Structure 1
Amino acid sequence: MTDTQLPVPDFARNMRLIGHSDQGGRADGVQLMVHRGYAYIGHMFSKGFSVVDVRDPRRPATVAYMPAPPNTWNIHLQTHDNLLLVINAKDMFAATEFQDERAYYQGSLGKKVGTAQRSAGIRNWRAGLAVYDISQGDAPREIGFMPVEGGGIHRVWYTGGRWAYASALLDGFSDYIFITIDMSDPCHPREAGRFWLPGMHVAADETPSWPAEWRYGLHHPIVHGDTAYCAWRDAGLVMLDVADRSAPKLITHRNWSPPFGGGTHNCLPLPDRDLLVVLDEAVLDHQEDGEKFIWLFDVREPSNPVSISTFPGPRETEYWRKPGHFGPHNLHENRPGSYVSSQLIFATYQNAGVRAFDVSDPYRPVEVAAFVPPQPARLMDHRPNRPNVIQSSDVFVDAEGLVYSTDYNGGLYILEFQA
């Protein structure tokens, strides 16, 4: 695809589009990893995951599609060296009970899926973690699988070595909890430890202390050293000591919901500055769940993280009036081998595209670049009454500084950051 054929953005400042892909007609993308010249992209509605050759970022080419097992989604994945880790879980957005997305984002997910009370019902999805060999980048080959009893795994964190970390919806629990995974034998990964907030183990007669409409469930952790920084949706920030991977221990738990709207999605440590970027996800249209923020915390004292600022939201137009979700969704997470910075933070804002922020002054984050894709060519979201609108999902910045962003409806965008 040449520059003259590229989609024309609705808005751009200090970011220039250089490549675009509809991912072989499967233009819905969630998490992506760019690794050794290939983009691995999990799908929200097209099932499975795709591989896009981005060695020439101006001419991305879809080279493989790996279908998911029946009734299963593969929305999140991780790469390191010759390994690709792919989550397997119930395809929530294909399920009848979640066609109204409010049902997914509010209340105990385990009770709705039927796993909280160790239901004996038939499970017609594959639940666990799949491991692929990607030594041949365009031809992933499954070499291992770790099954779990329950809804499955939502998102995983893996940067090499023995340990991976994930959120898992397991039988007997109200929602996703934290687990550690021993990857010493990639062909036979196994669970090694777990942590949950008191009240989540309902099969053991624990009683939740939070309102029934809240989602007290782990989205995912980011681990640095022996500390796991966990985004626990409506429960906010949970920091864990994982020096003993078999027995994670609570360091601190901070929650700001209410008065704010919950949905904590990413907790990104900036360890050289003792800072933590925390993003709350917007999950309903027109800010029905309130205005969501990206927060900056001072974590010099791990037992007492303190919020010191919020990032400015997009202001060039009233995006909250636009169809779809408006607000933060995901961060570039400074993975080893990618672009790593404690000064420049990249985020997606759903119907407001991709944003970059300078946090050199931690008390005054400043937006320095933005890119808003145009209306997608077609709607990929199959749920009823969803609008054909961009929903920028994930952002990944490679070591050379190229910015890659997925969209639920609009495909893969490849950008040059020009600030």
Structure 2
Amino acid sequence: MSQDLPKPDYARNLKLIGHSDQGGRPDGVQLMVNKGHAITGHMFSKGFSVVDVRDPRRPRAVNYIPAPPNTWNIHLQTFGDLLLVINAKDMFASAEFQDEKNYYSGALGEKVGTAASSPAVRNWTAGMAVYDIADPAHPRQIGFLPVAGGGIHRIWYTGGRWAYVSALLDGFTDYIFMTVDLADPTRPREGGRVWLPGMNAAAGETPSWPAHRRFGLHHATVSGTTAYGAWRDAGLVVIDVADPAAPALKLHHNWSPPFNGGTHNCLHLPARDLLVVADEAVLDDYEDGFKPIWLFDVRDPMKPISISTCPEPDDADYRRKGGHFGPHNIYENRPDGFVSDRRIFATQQNAGIRVYDIANPFRPEEIAAFVPPQPPRLMDHRPNRPRVIQSCDVYVDREGLVYANDYNGGLSILELTV
């Protein structure tokens, strides 16, 4: 291994071949690779960056686009010549969320003000920006969809007319599902909405769940005419999007309690009638307990049955390492990237990146791992944060190269050797 590359704390069947501090902004959240360029949203550096990875052994930061004041650009999507970027209140810069427990518990809309009858004055930008990335090193904004509320959290877009977003809108207690019409990408417009009954405070609905629970959509992924929504403490929400302008709730299935909630993202494997679902670990020192990556049998789409979970990393004592231990994100089989119905790529936060083989869906096996070293500095500005890695997102390109980023530790480019 080159001396210029960080030495991992642990590696098995994943070899580090390139690393970037993303132009001095090593904090990353969502990550996409488009035409040989990695584009990543920042958690604390207020915008997003572009890294030229055409030579993956020598990645080179080539652009940084700052966010509007008080605004997050943490999540984004690329496909073809379009880049979609969320704009939302910068939650982790706000006083009320310096203790992250306040972000992950209760109705977010009540804390941000979207659920109030008279919304507070807003000092952030809320909506979704559309960029032309025919030249991915130089994104050029061509459109914007404004929303009234906290903003958009995450997007699913794989080309074509429609994007699918989670949106914190005035009148609602938390993020809901919304479709976006991109027939004219310079003028995106809202299509339809879906929420769980009890979330529409403006219409007089009242929640049926305990006040400390977060019943809000993290995001949905779309497979065929079905959207699979990860609804945090509400589990799985399945939505019919055969007509994206009029999406319809099909199924709500929750396993929390007895399990610990935080459902973050879903990956449908249609050829095998399987659904992979990750529950996110959101508190330090294992305080929120075991958070699985589930495999569900969905041969009957209206009766998902859990058949197994991926094994927890056990090569070190991650429960006591500090920070979050457990799943954050799973790679979502992007159609312009690597697609597999057997290998699952996941980030396990302070336990790094893990690859699972699900040839036998009843007994998933970990086949590869990479744990970056302690970051040289802490990008997370919230009080009392430990200086540990928190591997956040993973992208796999068509050639099988693995790209992973971190809240503090920069972009790692990895070769899978098994």
The question of a shared fold, defined as TM-score above 0.5 by the shorter chain, is answered with yes
Moved more, 110-119 or 188-197: 110-119
In the alignment, does 2:192 pair up with 1:173? no
| Contact persistence 1:251–1:302 (CA under 8 A) | no
Gaps of 5+ in 2: none
Aligned to 1:84: 83
Aligned partner letter, 1:145: F
Deviations 1:88-135 (A, max 9, x none): 000000000000000000000000001112433211000000000111
| Contact persistence 2:79–2:336 (CA under 8 A) | no
User: In the aligned structure 2, how far is the partner of 1:121 from the partner of 1:364?
Assistant: 50
Q: After the TM superposition, which residues 378-389 of structure 1 pair with which residues of structure 2 at under 5 Å, given as runs?
A: 378-389=377-388
Gaps of 5+ in 1: none
In the alignment, does 2:219 pair up with 1:216? no
Aligned to 1:135: 134
Aligned to 1:104: 103
Q: After the TM superposition, which residues 388-399 of structure 1 pair with which residues of structure 2 at under 5 Å, given as runs?
A: 388-399=387-398
User: In the aligned structure 2, how far is the partner of 1:391 from the partner of 1:313?
Assistant: 16
User: In the aligned structure 1, how far is the partner of 2:28 from the partner of 2:118?
Assistant: 32
Secondary structure of the corresponding residue to residue 329 of structure 2:
strand
Aligned partner letter, 1:71: N
User: In the aligned structure 2, how far is the partner of 1:9 from the partner of 1:335?
Assistant: 27
Aligned to 1:272: 271
Q: 1:63 to 1:344 in 2, by over 3 A?
A: same
Aligned partner letter, 2:282: V
Secondary structure of the corresponding residue to residue 103 of structure 1:
helix
User: In the aligned structure 2, how far is the partner of 1:384 from the partner of 1:285?
Assistant: 13
In the alignment, does 2:121 pair up with 1:150? no
Aligned to 2:306: 307
Aligned to 1:244: 243
User: In the aligned structure 2, how far is the partner of 1:128 from the partner of 1:280?
Assistant: 26
Aligned to 2:416: 417
Q: After the TM superposition, which residues 257-406 of structure 1 pair with which residues of structure 2 at under 5 Å, given as runs?
A: 257-406=256-405
Q: After the TM superposition, which residues 12-51 of structure 1 pair with which residues of structure 2 at under 5 Å, given as runs?
A: 12-51=11-50
Aligned partner letter, 2:105: Q
Deviations 1:239-265 (A, max 9, x none): 111112122112211101111110000
Deviations 1:341-377 (A, max 9, x none): 0000000000000000000001000000000000001
| Contact persistence 2:298–2:305 (CA under 8 A) | yes
TM-score (norm 1): 0.99
Moved more, 246-255 or 291-300: 246-255
Shift of residue 286, structure 1, vs aligned partner:
1.2
Secondary structure of the corresponding residue to residue 317 of structure 1:
coil
| Contact persistence 1:3–1:19 (CA under 8 A) | no
User: In the aligned structure 2, how far is the partner of 1:244 from the partner of 1:316?
Assistant: 47
Secondary structure of the corresponding residue to residue 272 of structure 1:
helix
Secondary structure of the corresponding residue to residue 137 of structure 1:
coil
User: In the aligned structure 1, how far is the partner of 2:267 from the partner of 2:250?
Assistant: 16
Aligned partner letter, 1:150: G
Secondary structure of the corresponding residue to residue 356 of structure 1:
strand
User: In the aligned structure 1, how far is the partner of 2:298 from the partner of 2:252?
Assistant: 12
Shift of residue 318, structure 1, vs aligned partner:
1.2
User: In the aligned structure 1, how far is the partner of 2:59 from the partner of 2:226?
Assistant: 37
Secondary structure of the corresponding residue to residue 102 of structure 2:
helix
Aligned partner letter, 2:56: P
Aligned to 1:113: 112
User: In the aligned structure 2, how far is the partner of 1:52 from the partner of 1:372?
Assistant: 22
Identity of aligned residues (%): 71
User: In the aligned structure 2, how far is the partner of 1:141 from the partner of 1:319?
Assistant: 42
User: In the aligned structure 2, how far is the partner of 1:121 from the partner of 1:154?
Assistant: 19
Aligned partner letter, 2:182: M
Aligned partner letter, 1:279: A
TM-score (norm 2): 0.99
Secondary structure of the corresponding residue to residue 328 of structure 1:
coil
Secondary structure of the corresponding residue to residue 258 of structure 2:
coil
Aligned to 2:160: 161
Shift of residue 409, structure 1, vs aligned partner:
0.3
User: In the aligned structure 1, how far is the partner of 2:270 from the partner of 2:74?
Assistant: 28
Deviations 1:207-253 (A, max 9, x none): 10000000000000000111000000000001111112122112211
User: In the aligned structure 1, how far is the partner of 2:34 from the partner of 2:133?
Assistant: 10
